Amino acid sequence: MSRGGVTGKSARGGGAEAWKIRGWISQGSYWALAAVGLAVPLAAWTLLSVLGTVNKVFLPAPYDVVHRVAVWFSDGDLLSDVRISFFRVVAGWALSALIAMPLGLLIGTFRVVQALLEPLTDFIRYMPAVAFVPLVMLWVGIDESAKVGIIFIGTFFQMVLMVAEDVRRVPMAQIEAAQTMGATRSEVIEQVIIPSAKPALLDTLRITMGWAWTYLVVAELVAANSGLGYAIIKAQRFLQTDKIFAGIILIGALGLAMDQCFRWVHRTAFPWAQARN
């Protein structure tokens, strides 16, 4: 065991530095390893389907899935499916953000509101969103609002608690400093608590957006006739495994793309939060 790697940031992937606890690797090695991590399962998948050891019904070949996406696209359904699913996810998520943000701010700022609402929210968030499907159908019907409603239920209660926690994490010294400079209560909230919590709030929005995508299939169980989730459910009925794969991968890719957008906004909007690195 050489100790040389501890001081010099060597770019060699197998160096002592790379395996140090919370060690360092170069940008290049990071992306190379990421590519390997993605390529190995893909190669295994291709190999399994080429060898024909697994029935195509259970495991369609990668090129079958790609072919299915192409057909789906040329039939003209794919874009409208993506569009409607995108709309449902964003609408349900935005609606819960619209209510969860002010509510979480109040819970995280005032102990009275916290005592009043937090135990209730904690209780409801353990109820399974899927089980609300029949109730939502009963309450808001079976049109678009039902799908948005399911995604709302799936994300809202978690989001309230996360926003409240983000607000509570604002250091007390920041708040008290403003008070000793003569800031009023509303000025402290507007000019200290909200700007201080902003990066954490954006992270909360990013994470809950991910959850909203995972509730899409559940939401489109309710009398849908379009959307990615609906396409998966329909494909299940006809045992079109390749289409199920295509739908799942598309949802994953869309979610990942949105996640990267949020990360980009975080980097550009809050340069000061990156300054530490």
Which residues would be at the binding site for another protein (CB under 8 A)? 171, 173-174, 176-183, 187, 191-192, 195-196, 198, 270-273, 275-276
Q: Report, in Å, the least distance between residue 68 CB and another protein.
A: 47
Q: In the complex, what is the shortest distance from the CB of residue 266 to another protein, in angstroms, rounded to a whole number?
A: 13
User: Which is closer to another protein, CB of 17 or CB of 166?
Assistant: 166
3-class state of residue 69 by DSSP: helix
Strands (E), the chain: none
Q: What are phi and psi of 44, to 5 degrees?
A: -60, -45
Helix axes 77-109, 144-168, angle to 10 degrees: 40
In what helix (H) or strand (E) does residue 84 lie, and over which residues does it extend?
A: helix 77-109
Query: What are 176's two structure tokens?
Result: 């008290």
Smallest Cα–Cα separation from 188: which of 176, 200, 202, 204?
Answer: 176
Closer of 80 and 179 to another protein (Cβ): 179
Query: Which residue, 238 or 272, has its beta carbon nearer to another protein?
Result: 272
- 159 vs 193 by CB, closer to another protein: 193
Gap between the Cα atoms of 203 and 201, Å rounded: 5
Nearer to another protein, 102 or 171 (CB): 171
- Nearest distance, CB of residue 118 and another protein, angstroms: 23
Give the residue with the Cβ less far from another protein, 31 or 110.
Answer: 110
What is the C-alpha to C-alpha distance for residues 156 and 130, in angstroms, rounded to an integer? Answer: 14
Q: Least distance to another protein from the beta carbon of 136, Å?
A: 40
Residue 4 CB-density burial (10 A; 0-12 exposed, 13-18 middle, 19+ buried)? exposed
Q: How far is the CB of 276 from another protein (least distance, A)?
A: 5
CB atoms within 10 A of CB 6: 12
Shortest reach from residue 271's CB to another protein, in Å? 8
